[in-house]
Amino acid sequence: MFKVVALLADTMADAFTQSAKANIVLCYRENGEKVHQFLKEHGFLDSTLKPKTTGDMLALPFIEQVDGKEIERMLCSAFDFEIRIDCIELEYAEISNNPHAQLRSAVTSWLTSFNSSEGENGNFLKELPRKWQHLGDVVVLPETAFMSKEWNELINQRTIEELQHLWHHIARALGGKRLARQHPVTKDKHRTSQTELLLGQNGWVEFLDHGVQFGFDATKVMFSAGNVTERRRIGSIDMENEVVVDAYAGVGYYTLHMALRSRAKHIHACEINPDSITGLTWAQETNGLNKQMTIHQGDNQETLPKLYGQADRCHLGLLPSSEAVWNHAIGCLKPEGGWIHIHMNVHKNELDKWQDQTLETLKEYAGQHQRNWKISIEHLEFVKWFSPHIQHVVLDVQCREILQE
Ligand SMILES: C[S@@+](CC[C@H](N)C(=O)[O-])C[C@H]1O[C@@H](n2cnc3c(N)ncnc32)[C@H](O)[C@@H]1O
């Protein structure tokens, strides 16, 4: 029979008082906060180890699953201060303020409760996830979590009740009440999230993000929590008196920030997926945006033409490419022009070429709409590495009417 055992916190604490070789980012202490935040937001920070200060320098550990060269490149394109990648000995962090250590402890307790040698099998613990996401009280594990051959075999031998105990311990160790596992986002146009709920009755989540209230069913729609820097950036652009079109609104990931933080006069939120519309409608009501926001349900190819000539700004937040609506975005801008924010996945060696081509394409579309505009690229924002060579970027384009003398 399954035995519920107390967490072996004391036993495990011993295991965490030692040190280990760690990959680190070395930076000046004055830049430490920025590097720490960067590593944390990208899920790279190794919270099982203690950062180390030596004189003016700070060593911040990152997880072994990521390549130091890639981290170096990302940091160098995000900041202009000096950093170095190195490998040094670091002490383990205290178990009490180390969620990964608490996860290890919880899982070890569960394994040990079967009175088998499983608890000693390092393979189970080695496979534990290093990053996860909080959506309200739901902890979302990556798609690889507990999916290794060893874990699969073990899970298949256990009863549903036993597994519920495991998921419960894990959720609690990571500071949540429900537990889910991410599946790949579908490649169709709904970008459906296939999150699997491991613990809990339903997937509806509600949470506050930089003063903005979000609500949606996490098992049905995606939320790219990783794009935090872009969310902050877009929300800090002053859009007072502007009419904005958000062509891929989702549950309002950028829309709500543009409405509430950028203070856009009016936002047209265009979205095709009924599950996202449910979240968007909830957020419109909850954030008091009934007058400031109009939701357009349907395919952009049909909704955007109805907004031609109305916008000061168009936001095109679809990956890998939003090219399908560039022409409509030009059409949506007022005759005097405005801004377009284009999200795109671009190969790191093709950034210049892509920008030139995009500019040419937009000029061509402007001609088709009989717009006599000066179109310029004002900024290219690096958001994150999508895969080892592919960067998620946002291109800020300005279109200005050329006034005749
Ligand atoms: C990647 S999500 C972006 C949501 C949000 N911008 C984010 O980053 O979380 C893309 C959204 O665009 C919607 N979408 C995709 N194709 C569309 C189309 N042709 N017309 C309207 N919406 C579409 C999807 O349903 C999805 O909610």
Q: What is the pLDDT of residue 187?
A: 63
Give the residue-averaged pLDDT of 130-136: 88
Question: How close is the Cα of 40 to the center of ligand 1, in Å?
Answer: 26
User: What is the CATH code for 17-93?
Assistant: 3.30.70.2580
Helix pair angle (32-41, 68-78), 10° resolution: 120
- Distance from C-alpha of 220 to C-alpha of 190, rounded to nearest angstrom: 10
User: What is the CATH code for 223-401?
Assistant: 3.40.50.150
Cis peptide before 388 (omega within 30 of 0): no
Q: 216 in ligand 1 pocket by Cβ < 6 Å? A: no
Within its chain, how far is the Cα of 160 from the centroid? 31
Q: What is the pLDDT of residue 398?
A: 98
Atom of ligand 1 nearest to the CA of 221: 27
Do 395 and 380 meet the contact criterion of CB atoms below 8 Å apart? yes
Residues facing residue 215 across a β-bridge: 206
Where does the pLDDT of residue 3 fall: very low under 50, low under 70, confident under 90, or very high at 90 and above?
A: very low
Per residue in 300-310, pLDDT tens?
999 999 999 99
Q: What is the pLDDT of residue 44?
A: 82
Where does the pLDDT of residue 2 fall: very low under 50, low under 70, confident under 90, or very high at 90 and above?
A: very low
Question: How close is the Cα of 323 to the center of ligand 1, in Å?
Answer: 13
User: E strand or H helix at 150, and its extent?
Assistant: helix 149-157
Please state which of the ranges 94-98, 169-173, 231-235, 357-361 shows the lowest mean pLDDT.
94-98
Question: How close is the Cα of 17 to the center of ligand 1, in Å?
Answer: 47
Residue 368 has pLDDT above 80, yes or no: yes
**CA neighbor of 284 nearest in space, from 311, 263, 255, 261:** 255
Question: How close is the Cα of 134 to the center of ligand 1, in Å?
Answer: 21
Q: What is the pLDDT of residue 11?
A: 31
Q: 167 in ligand 1 pocket by Cβ < 6 Å? A: no
Question: How close is the Cα of 247 to the center of ligand 1, in Å?
Answer: 7
Question: How close is the Cα of 125 to the center of ligand 1, in Å?
Answer: 37
Residue 9 has pLDDT above 50, yes or no: no
Per residue in 271-280, pLDDT tens?
999 999 999 9
> Going by CA atoms, what residue is nearest to atom 2 of ligand 1?
250
> Going by CA atoms, what residue is nearest to atom 1 of ligand 1?
318
Please state which of the ranges 121-125, 144-148, 373-377 shows the lowest mean pLDDT.
121-125
Within its chain, how far is the Cα of 395 from the centroid? 19
> Going by CA atoms, what residue is nearest to atom 24 of ligand 1?
190
Q: What is the pLDDT of residue 317?
A: 96
Residue 43 has pLDDT above 50, yes or no: yes
∠248-254-259 over CA atoms, to 5°?
110
Give the residue-averaged pLDDT of 51-57: 91
SS3 state of residue 221: coil
- Distance from C-alpha of 330 to C-alpha of 398, rounded to nearest angstrom: 11
> Going by CA atoms, what residue is nearest to atom 25 of ligand 1?
190
Token pair listed for 61: 């550990």
Residue 131 has pLDDT above 90, yes or no: no
Q: 248 in ligand 1 pocket by Cβ < 6 Å? A: yes
Please state which of the ranges 124-133, 164-173, 191-200, 352-361 shows the lowest mean pLDDT.
191-200
Question: What does pLDDT average to over the chain?
Answer: 88
Atom of ligand 1 nearest to the CA of 190: 25
Q: What is the pLDDT of residue 224?
A: 73
Q: What percent of the chain has pLDDT over 90?
A: 61
Q: What is the pLDDT of residue 15?
A: 37
**Pocket of ligand 1, candidates 185, 221, 272, 325: which has the most ligand atoms within 8 Å of its Cβ, to mutate?**
272
SS3 state of residue 19: strand
Question: How close is the Cα of 376 to the center of ligand 1, in Å?
Answer: 26
In a 13 Å sphere around the CA of 168, the CA atoms on its Cβ side amount to: 12
Residue 349 has pLDDT above 50, yes or no: yes
Within its chain, how far is the Cα of 55 from the centroid? 34
> Going by CA atoms, what residue is nearest to atom 7 of ligand 1?
253
Listed in sequence order, the residues at least 6 apart from 260 whose beta carbon sits closer than 8 Å to its beta carbon are 211, 212, 235, 287, 289
Per residue in 177-220, pLDDT tens?
999 998 876 666 555 657 899 999 999 999 988 889 999 998 88
Per residue in 239-271, pLDDT tens?
999 999 999 999 999 999 999 999 999 999 999
Residue 341 has pLDDT above 90, yes or no: yes
**CA neighbor of 200 nearest in space, from 156, 140, 157:** 140
Per residue in 85-129, pLDDT tens?
999 999 877 766 678 888 988 898 888 776 556 545 677 888 889
Where in the chain are all domains bearing CATH 3.40.50.150?
223-401
- Distance from C-alpha of 120 to C-alpha of 113, rounded to nearest angstrom: 12
Q: 16 in ligand 1 pocket by Cβ < 6 Å? A: no
Question: How close is the Cα of 316 to the center of ligand 1, in Å?
Answer: 9
Where in the chain are all domains bearing CATH 3.30.70.2580?
17-93
∠86-89-94 over CA atoms, to 5°?
120
Per residue in 297-339, pLDDT tens?
999 999 999 999 999 999 999 999 999 999 999 999 999 999 9
Do 264 and 292 meet the contact criterion of CB atoms below 8 Å apart? yes
Do 310 and 242 meet the contact criterion of CB atoms below 8 Å apart? no
Where does the pLDDT of residue 362 fall: very low under 50, low under 70, confident under 90, or very high at 90 and above?
A: very high
Q: What is the pLDDT of residue 120?
A: 58
